[in-house]
Amino acid sequence: MNKYRVDRAMEAPCPPIGMNSILYIGESYVDATKVYMHANGGKDAWGNPHSLYGVMLSIWNPAKNEYMVKRWKS
């Protein structure tokens, strides 16, 4: 499983299930952080304006077998 993930989504304890929201998925914290910092909130998974959407940075938690959101911005 990839360790880091950045998504466009509404604020939630875990990222969405679909793939459309993913801006980055991989093993590099540096790359994930760069994508997170440069991404702007206010857009849905398809890039359309949506005020309830933001950007989330998540990390894989092997103990729970799921991603956990570590940072979120709107």
Per-residue pLDDT of the chain (74 residues; tens, 9 = 90+): 799 999 999 999 889 988 999 999 999 999 999 999 999 999 998 989 999 999 999 999 999 999 999 999 99
Position 61 scores a pLDDT of: 96
The domain tally of the chain equals 1
Position 13 scores a pLDDT of: 87
Backbone angles phi, psi at 59, to 5 degrees: -125, 145
CA angle, corner 54, sides to 51 and 55, nearest 5? 160
Ramachandran quadrant class, 35 (left: phi over 0; alpha: psi -120 to 50; beta: rest): alpha
List the domain range (segments joined by +) for residue 33.
4-73
Position 17 scores a pLDDT of: 87
- The model's pTM is 0.93
